Amino acid sequence: MLTRLLSGDFPRSRFLALALLIVFLGLAVAPFALSGARPLNVAATICVFIVLVASYDLLLGYTGIVSFAHTMFYGIGAYGVGLSLYSLGPSWGAILLGLTIALVVSLALALVIGLFSLRVRAIFYAMITLAVASAFAILASQLSDFTGGEDGRTFRLPEMLTPGYTLFEGEIFGTSINGRLLTYYLVFVSAVALFLFLLRVVNSPFGRVLQAIRENDFRAEALGYRTVVYRTIANCLAALLATCAGALMALWLRYTGPQTTLSFTIMMDILLMVVIGGMGTLYGAVVGAALFILAQNYLQELTGQASHALAGVPLLANLFHPDRWLLWLGVLFVLSVYFFPTGIVGKLRKPNP
């Protein structure tokens, strides 16, 4: 059963298996083990970004495509669901309609970008995707009557997903089973299902061809594989999964806007997560997303505590000042690249000499 779920792609490392188990169990029990809104928001964000980063790894790690348009598809998913709920009201039909439209738009754009751009190589394709993504972000900001502009749109969810909804009276492990918890598990279960789907894709014959194209596209072409077709399909699959991730984030936040889904900063974060976790592994998306988002949310507090503990040493106290947490995030990234050049998962999977 486990072999089928993981598509035969086991961690192949005790430490990696333990890390993945910790992340999975931590996310599965987060609403019951953690109190407060912030930890639950961090857990939901990790779930969404695991899907987003894994879908990007399908492009970068498995196919060798460098794209800067991934956040565009992420934003299309968020705006599709958000604007549908805003316009039609809080209903499951509005969610389904918005997601369907978003998936169709993403598929069309990914297909066009793939067919017209994947024939060019490396940096030229990356620049084309960057231009398209930038144009889409500007368009979302300028069409304020429709998208809400820079302020974005807030919307209501179906009653079952609202915090005021209670599935039944009483509590489980001290936690009320309300709409917010149901929304979290909708995000969690969807993220697990999408990740397992991606595992199946990369471990299928199609996935093996993508890896062959990454290693040597001329040889793959010589063997009879139409590399442009395979790259275009991979681009479309990655776009559709990023769209689903955006829709999940919109449902969780009950808001969509350019800064939360279309920002170029998010694209850089995705790249960092892929590199930290390990390209071409998928499991790297789990490890990279969990570590990076935890650092983003809690590193400032840790540096603040360190600064307070070192109050007697002014130089060190200033160095660990909470306002300098981004400096330490950068240091951690440099150290991870130095000690884990193939990513954390790549290092853990490397056989011992």
pLDDT in tens, 201-246: 999 999 899 888 888 888 888 888 888 888 889 999 999 999 999 9
Count how many residues are written for the chain: 353
Within 8 A by CB and 6+ apart from 56, the residues are: 67, 70, 238, 242, 270, 271, 274, 285
Instruction: Quickly count: other Cβ atoms within 10 Å of residue 179's Cβ.
Output: 18
Give the whole-angstrom CA distance, residue 320 versus residue 330.
Answer: 13
CB 56 within 8 A of CB 274: yes
CB 172 within 8 A of CB 181: no
Instruction: Quickly count: other Cβ atoms within 10 Å of residue 83's Cβ.
Output: 21
8, pLDDT greater than 90? no
**What one-letter code names the amino acid at 150?**
E
Give the whole-angstrom CA distance, residue 148 versus residue 277.
Answer: 35
* Nearest alpha carbon to residue 253 among 87, 133, 105, 75: 75
335, pLDDT greater than 80? yes
Q: What residue ranges define each of the domains in the chain, with the CATH number in brackets?
A: 14-349 (1.10.3470)
How sure is the predictor about 348, in pLDDT bands with cuts at 50, 70 and 90?
A: confident
**What one-letter code names the amino acid at 164?**
G
353, pLDDT greater than 50? no
Position 187 scores a pLDDT of: 96
State the average pLDDT for the chain. Answer: 87
pTM of the model: 0.93
CB 74 within 8 A of CB 245: yes
138, pLDDT greater than 80? yes
User: What tens digit of pLDDT does each residue of 97-124 get?
Assistant: 999 999 999 999 999 887 776 666 667 7
Let me know if 125 is exposed, middle or buried by CB neighbors in 10 A (0-12, 13-18, 19+).
Answer: buried
Of residues 23 and 5, more confidence is placed in: 23
CB 85 within 8 A of CB 255: no
HSE of 172, CA atoms in CB hemisphere, 13 A: 9
CB 122 within 8 A of CB 66: yes
Angle, helices 122-142/92-117, rounded to nearest 10 degrees: 140
- Parallel, antiparallel, or unpaired: how do β-strands 166-172 and 153-154 relate? unpaired
CB 44 within 8 A of CB 227: no
Let me know if 311 is exposed, middle or buried by CB neighbors in 10 A (0-12, 13-18, 19+).
Answer: exposed
* Nearest alpha carbon to residue 228 among 107, 68, 63: 63
